[in-house]
Structures are given as C-alpha cells and as structure tokens.
Amino acid sequence: MAPPRAGAVAVALLAVVATVAVHAAGGAGGGRKMASHGEGTPRVSPGPPAPAPAGGSASQFRGQARLPRFAAPRHYELHLRPDLVACTFSGSVAITVAVSASTRFLVLNAADLSINSSSIRFQALAPTEVVFFKEDGVLVLGFAKPLPFGEGVLKMDFTGTLNDQMRGFYRSKYQYKGKERNMAVTQFESVDARRCFPCWDEPAFKAKFKLTLEVPSELTALSNMPVANTTVAGPIKTIRYQESPLMSTYLVAIVVGLFEYVEGVTVKGTRVRVYTQVGKSRQGKFALDVGVKSLNLYKDYFGTPFPLPKMDMVAIPDFAAGAMENYGLVTYREVALLFDDKSSSASSKQNVAITVAHELAHQWFGNLVTMEWWTHLWLNEGFATWVSHLAVDSFFPQWNIWTQFLDSTTTALRLDSLEESHPIEVEIHHASEVDQIFDAISYEKGASVIRMLHSYLGADRFQKALASYIKKYAYSNAKTEDLWAVFEKETGEPVKDLMTSWTKQKGYPVINAKLKGNDMELEQAQFLLDGSSGPGMWIVPITSGCGAYDTQKKFLLKLKRDKLVIASQCGDRKKGGNFWTKLNVNGTGFYRVKYDDELAAALQNALETKKLSLMDKIGIIDDSHALSMARQQTLASLLRLLYCYRGEADYSVLSHINSVTASISKISVDATPGLAGDIKQLLIKILLSPAEKLGWDPKNGESHLDVMLRPMLLLALVQLGHGKTINEGDRRFNIFIRDRNTSLLPPDTRKVAYLAVMQNVSSSNRSGYDALRKLYKESAEGEERLRVLGILSSCRDKGIVLESLNLIFTNEVRSQDAYLVVRGLQIEAREIAWNWLKENWERILKTVSVSSLVGDFIKGIVPLFASNEKAAEVSKFFATRTTPGFERTLKQSLENVRISARWVEGIKSEPGLAQTVRELLGKS
C-alpha cells in the first residue's frame, strides 16, 4: 500500500461490545446464543431452535491476538450482489475448510455484516451457537459435537452496507453526464475483508478464491482474475471470474462502476490496463507505460514471472490510501495514477511513477510472498519502497532518484529519533493495533536499511539472494528471519546479526568521530532529539572517504567504541591540501555523524570548495540540523554551515536546505522574536540566487529536476515573506484568473501564485480568496483542486482561517482530502487552529472516519507549538479522547512540541547568535 503522503494510512476497528445470550423465537430455553447488535456488529437473524452446546465455551476465543489454527480455509466460493442505488450488498460464501485438530468450534472473522444464522452450515451440521466478539471482529460458530477431521464446506448468507468509510466494501461517488453516481470498491488492507464477507482475515490463511458478481449490465466489474464467463439477464449480468492462485484475504479486490481504459502488454504477453472515469483515459497513458516497464523489470530482477494473466490499475475518486496492491487489480487515488501534460506538475509525474512501481513490486514482494503476520509489515512496504526507486531510476535516470531517496531516509531519521518511535518489527497483539504501523518506520526506515544492506553486500549478491527468497517462499508466507536466513546462505555474510540490530529495536546511533594521531576514534550512542542518549547498540556498516571518493573504506562497528586507522587512507593531514574525511559516504547508512571541531572544519572547507557529492552535501546539513535541535550544536554553527550552500543549484540538495530553513524560520518566532526578521532575511539570501537564476518561466530543454526546483524555491521565498516574489505571484494569478490558458502560470508554479495571493487575504480583502474558492469548485482536475485546498488556510486572518477549516464539514471536500486544510497553516494561526480543533473534535471524528486521517489533524496543528505549557494543555484535552488509531501520532506530536520547547531554551541562551546573523547578512 502507498500512503497518500509521507507517513501511513491507518483504519481503526470499532471496539467493545459484550456478548449477550438471546433465544430464538419458538424455543423455550434452548435457543442459539447471539451477540447484541450494536453499530458495526454483525447481526444474526434468528434461525430454528437447536440444542444447547455440550461442553466448552465460545468465550475462550475473546480477545485473542490471532485466530486459532485448528481449522484453516483452502478455497472460497464468493457470490456478491451490490446495489449501487441503495448502497447495500448481499452475498453468500462457501468456504472449504480443513479441520486438523479436535474441535467443535469454527472461529473466523466478520464485521459490519448481517448474517443469516439459519443459512449457516458446515457440511450438513448447523451450529448450536453463533457468537460475535465485536471488539475483535471475530465470529465463533459452536457445534454440538466435535467436527470431523479433513476438509468440509462452510456456507452462509449475509448482507451489508456499501459504507462511506473507504474501508471494507464501500461506495465512491463520481460524476457522469452531470449526475452523481456511485461505484462499489473494496479496500481490505489491513483487516477489512471481514467487512465484506466472513473469512479467515489474516495474511497466513492463504486460500484460492473464485468470485461471482451480479451487477447492472451497463457497468464494468473488475476483480483479481480475468472473467471466465458472463451471462446477461435483462438489466443484470452475472460475471464469473477465473480461480485465483493462493492469496491472502486482504488482497481480494472488487471494483464496479462506469470506466474506460487504455491497454498495453508486457514482453511475456501479460495484458495491462489502466481504468479511469469516462473521459479521462488519456491521463492513464503515463501510468500504463510505467506499469508495463515495471512488470518487465521485476520479472528479471526477482527471477520469477508475474504470476497472473492480467494486471488492472484503477483510479478511484474516494480512496483513503495513496494506492493498494490488490493482486492483479491495483486501486489508486486518482492523483496517484493520472497524469495530464496540460494540468499536472512535474512532481506529480514523478509521484505517479514511484507509486505505480511501488504497487507492482508488491505483486512479488507482498502478494506472491506474503508476510506471515502484520509484525512483518515492513517486509512488504520497506522492500516495495526501495525497489520502486530502483525501477524508476532505471526508467528515468535523469531524475537522479537515488539522491532524492534521501528524502525518505531523513524523514525516517527524524521520526526514529523520538522516544515515541517504534521498531521496524512491531509485535502486533490485536487487529486494532495493525494500522498504526503504516508509517515512516515501516516504509522509509525499512527501505533505508535495505539500501544499507544492499550497499554492504553489493548489488549482484543482494539481487541473487532476493531472487532465491522469492522462489523459496512463492505462494506462501515468510517472516523477517526467513529473509535473513536466505541472505546468509547465499552470501556467507552475518546478515541476521547485522540486520536484527536494526529491525528489532527502535532508533539508530550517532557516531561521534574524533581525531587522535593517525586514528579516528569512533563511539556510537543512540541519538534522540530530546538530547538524551538511549540504550541502543547496533552493528553499524561504516563507510569512510578521505580526500576523494576512490579511496573508501568499509568495516562493521560492532562495539560501542572502536577506531579507524586513517593514515594510509588520508596521508599526512598536517601537510594540508585536500584533507577531509567523511563517514557514511553517500548516506547509505541509517545513522548520523557528529565530528570533532577539526574534522567538521575540514568538511566545511570541502563543501565550500565543491569536493563533496550531492548525497554527502545532504547528509552533512541534515545531521547538523538534527544535532542543533538536540542542542549538541549551536544554531549559529548551523547557520554558518547553511550559508555555505548559498551557491547550490541541485534540486535534491536544495530540497533539504529548504526543509532546514523552514525549521529555523519556525523556531525563531518563539526563540528569538526580535531576531526572527533578520533570520528570515538571511534564509532568503541563501535561497534567492538559485531562484532568480531559474525565474518564474520554464525554459526550453530544461531538466525535470529544474522544473521541480523552480516552484520549491519560489514557495519557500513566499513562505519567508519575500515581497518581490509575493507581488509577482499575485500579478500572475490575476492574469491567470482572467485567462486560464495563459502561459504565465503553468501547472508547476500555480501553487506558488495561490500561496502568494493568500498572504494578502483578509476578511475585509477577500477577493483573492473568493477567486481561489471559485477555482476549487470549478476545476475538474484532482491535482488542481488539491493545490488550492492545501493553501486556503495559509493566512493570519482568523475569519478566513476558520472558514477554510470548516470546509471539511461541507460536501465540497472529500473525506480523504480533509487533512489538507491544516497542511497550509501558518504559525501565526496556530492558536486559532487549536481552538477550532478542540471545539470541533467530535464533529471531526464523525466527518473523517479513517483514524489516520484524523491523526493528520493532530499532526498538522499540535507541532506548530513550542512550549511545555501547550504540550500539557494538549495532553490534558486528549486524556479521555484517544483511540488506538491515532494514539501514537498524538504521543509523537507532543514529543515534538517538547523537543521544540527545549530547542527554544537553548537558542535563547546562545551567545553570539545575533552577531553571527548580522555577519552573514553583511557578507557579499
């Protein structure tokens, strides 16, 4: 699954209802046990009376982390009839179940379904009790006597609602010929197949699926497999699909609606289609091209052909995640799949490529070989994130995607330096815990430690071992330890010991490097942004370069302290010249480095004399920023280092410089309010030169990276309050509003102009705001609507900010996009936004039903503050308002507030900061 942004998508299960015994009508004292109904609880319609159960109790299965293993599914015959007008569905399922131990119970999953208890049969046996545990999403069927060993068929009928929560079997709305219509869509990862049909809803219970759908004749109905046959009876057609290979329930998929498509084929003859709303198929051509190339590349890289006869990719208007890797039927948010040369930005094109490559990598790493349990989620997501960059780098080498990959690494380093982080492998004890771990640790840290292992082993050995793993575990499940065992066998390296230190414990080390004679003394300590040092110890693959990149050394740091002999590598440093040494060459290791004064000065000189690679330029500034936040370096020293980048022209490096400048600008408001204006001017000075070289207008033949760099720099200048850039954005916007086809505002720079307009908006001067709202309503392009929505709250005026935030309670904003209204908040509006959040909390929960999207409101507002008092206030407010779905997000946001408060204290007591700022401002 691809998250809609950095970070993960999560869905929380509803919780807690007691099982209550009720009697079926007509039976005195001997009816079946059934749970109370309650919202979200499967409801059972009464069946004929049956004998009371003999011995044992269903309650033994309450609250268990996993379903019992004494019975397992082998095959599902699933028949579904969705009603897209009434937004309901009915269905029946026949599950071939293998009973392998003595039991009188069948225990499976179901949620939000009404099950006809009189239809339940295992072979010819009717259950004597039907019990639901709502908080677990578990259905227990008790029989009068032990079930026979071997295979039998479990049948039942059920009905449900096509919900509006973007999980399970749900409805998505779209426009066709001016009228609103519904499509039916599934989203089952992680534990929501049970909301569509009763099943063993865990990854390890792989089975084959044979689906039948009854749908309106004029609609397209897609599933994992190709159509076997179709019969039409008037307005309804019955579609039977080919039987699937062994697969997990979370990968079953169904999409029903009006679509058109573009089509391609792989070198091995696999049919690939991109389905879109009617009239948008042209926008699917780029994704189709990337999809075909990805399947071709992965076939060779994984050493295994794509196992299904077709691959469909579908753009869905309402979709909580970025995309979902369902076997043979991948579903996407429209903006993650569609690209239009006329209305889409270069960054959108790149995002589509990476997302498609990510999801198709899952067809092998996740679908063909599936993690055994959600504890090993990172096996899916970390590898898909890493290998998607491998693929895109192959297709578009000019994008320099591996340098951009360091965005992923630094995102993960930032999250993993919190006490409230978690290990890559998280023990999952209950289904309600799963979706919290769809975050930067599972995705970006997972991908980063894979890159580290790839660097350590070398490309050829890594690829050979990975292909062996895929072949060994095809059509089955695996744990992290299984992967390391294959790698050890194939390479002879101590992979398990090395990698276990990175996957089983949270955090990462900072390597303290000091020169002592001809040696460099190294000491590792767990790095935490709050300034403390945790207990972690790692086996660290150290790389070092000295004076040049062709004399690198590699070794494993296994102890807390060790030394690196650098004399032979660096020569005599006292002779001057090119002496410098850089650890963690090109950022392949997941750790930070803190250098002593001599090493730091030499590196800064190498930076200024352009001796360092792009990746090392990024690593140095990112480490320095983190060390400053942790109060291990001064802000003044960070600013001096930052100033060395003033002539930089590379997109990836400037992307990180921009992140650091935004952080400094934000913290200066609280730490040094009297100096904040001068600090902003200094930050503008650093970014202005490359921005002026690029200008506002695209140039013939310029690179993809320069096309992305232009809006990034201009946006930064607007956010820093650069008057000339704001005025130019305002001017271009006014021309654009009169002439939407003007060349003065192409898709890449529109957001800059929109943000510039918002800097002058107020309740008494709202013409620009109204023009943006009109643009939002009238645009048919998803990317354009998101551009506008993401900046509508970007002003200081209370009335405008509240009006923008309240848009989420209207039908103008899809639930999946609601979080964007807090994305653009300025620090001056944080109290307004916080009060709004408190006053509307219950309303937000009802409006945005997906818990991770609710968490985004916390993440977008709470970290704007930088005081312990505010952290205490926020903590008190949420003391009785948290759920498992966003509890970790809240804790991490509060920790970030406290880290910022500590940084503020350090900056306030820092001597010479004002002098440093004035000195750098005065430099020519």
Annotated catalytic sites, by residue?
359
Q: Which of 182, 147, 191 has the alpha carbon at shortest distance from 162?
A: 182
Q: Helix H segments across 91-243?
A: none
Longest dimension (CA), the chain: 100
Q: What angle do CA 358, 361, 366 make, to 5 degrees?
A: 105
Coil, helix or strand at residue 223: strand
Relative to beta strand 208-216, strand 71-83 is: parallel
Rounded to 5°, angle at Cα 552 from 544 and 579: 70
* C-alpha 688, offset from chain centre: 32
Look up residue 553 and give its DSSP letter: E
What sign has the CA pseudo-torsion 435, 437, 439, 442? negative
Among 152, 137, 157, CA closest to 79: 157
Dist CA 95 CA 141 (whole Å): 14
Q: Are 35 and 17 in contact (CB under 8 A)?
A: yes
Q: What is the secondary structure of 609-664 as a DSSP string?
A: TT-S-HHHHHHHHHHHHHHHHTTSS-HHHHHHHHHTTTT---HHHHHHHHHHHHHH
Task: With beta carbons less than 8 A apart as the criterion, state whether 477 and 204 touch.
Answer: yes
> Using CA atoms, how far apart are residues 213 and 726, in angstroms rounded to an integer?
55
Rg (CA), the chain: 29
CB 65, CB 429: distance < 8 Å: yes
Phi, psi for residue 27 in degrees, rounded to 5: -115, 120
Termini Cα distance of the chain: 49
> Counting Cβ atoms within 10 Å, is residue 55 exposed (0-12), middle (13-18) or buried (19+)?
exposed
Of 335, 331, 228, which is closest to residue 275 (Cα–Cα)?
Answer: 331
> What is the distance between the alpha carbons of residues 713 and 724, in angstroms, rounded to a whole number?
13
Residue 548 dihedral angles phi and psi, to the nearest 5°: -165, 170
Number of Cβ atoms within 10 Å of the Cβ of 908: 11
Distance separating alpha carbons of residues 678 and 279, to the nearest angstrom: 51
Binding residue per annotation — 362? yes
Query: Could you tell me if 71 and 146 are in contact, meaning their C-beta atoms sit under 8 angstroms apart?
Result: no
CA dist 706 and 712 (Å) reads 10
Give the whole-angstrom CA distance, residue 24 versus residue 343.
Answer: 61
Q: Which tokens belong to 401?
A: 């995607």
Whether the Cβ atoms of residue 79 and residue 91 lie closer than 8 Å to each other: yes
Residue 590 backbone phi and psi in degrees, to 5: -95, 70
On whether 381 is known to bind a ligand per the annotation, the reply is yes
Q: Are 590 and 413 in contact, with CB atoms under 8 Å apart?
A: yes
Contact 183, 257 (CB under 8 A): yes
Cα distances (Å, whole numbers) of residue 221 to 224, 230, 263, 667, 689: 11, 11, 17, 52, 54
Q: Is 263 exposed, middle or buried (0-12, 13-18, 19+ CB in 10 A)?
A: middle
Strand, helix or coil for residue 812? coil
872 contact partners, CB below 8 Å, separation of at least 6: none
From CA 793, how far away is CA 786, in angstroms rounded? 13
Indicate the annotated binding residues. 358, 362, 381
Indicate the annotated binding residues for Zn(2+). 358, 362, 381
